[in-house]
Amino acid sequence: MKAVRLLFSYLLPALIPSWRFFDYIAPSPRIEFAVAAAADDPAMRWREFRPRPVHLPFAAMLRRLLWNPLWNESLFMASCAEKLLDEPSARRETELFTRIVAAIARGETGDQITASTYLRFRIVVLKREGEEISRRVGFVSPAQRVDASGRIGVP
């Protein structure tokens, strides 16, 4: 009987992938960004980077099951943001800056990069507390200058 129970404990996670997939449920990080004309602009307008759609048609859901590179990149960025909160590093910060600038350059956000564009991002942590969801800012990057070609940190 013990062997059967042990067999199922190994088999269930393979058959049902979400079975104990997460060791624990941590607060969910969201990446927000702000584009400004000056590094110390007090009126920076923070916006969520790749906000989740409010409604997704069934056909789009099916399509996303097979092909969704932006969502894969967003998952990678969320993982990078979690690690940045746990252990701040310049490499993770640069990775997030690079991907946000690339999205802006592709026209994904509707922003324009000019000769004197500054970019900042922050990581906002959402946590469910009973029936309410609380938000707290866990990390704010320094402003980085971005040139028209998308290079970060140019003088």
pTM assigned to the model: 0.78
Domain extents in the chain: 24-146
Measuring CA to CA, which residue among 111, 77, 109, 69 is closest to residue 93?
77
pLDDT of 155 reads 57
Q: Profile the chain (155 residues) by mean pLDDT over runs of 10 residues.
A: 77 62 69 88 87 87 84 90 92 93 87 81 89 90 83 68
Cβ within 8 Å of residue 105, ≥6 positions away = 113, 150
Q: Give the integer Cα–Cα distance in Å for 34 and 51.
A: 14
Q: Give the integer Cα–Cα distance in Å for 112 and 126.
A: 29
Q: Give the integer Cα–Cα distance in Å for 97 and 9.
A: 42
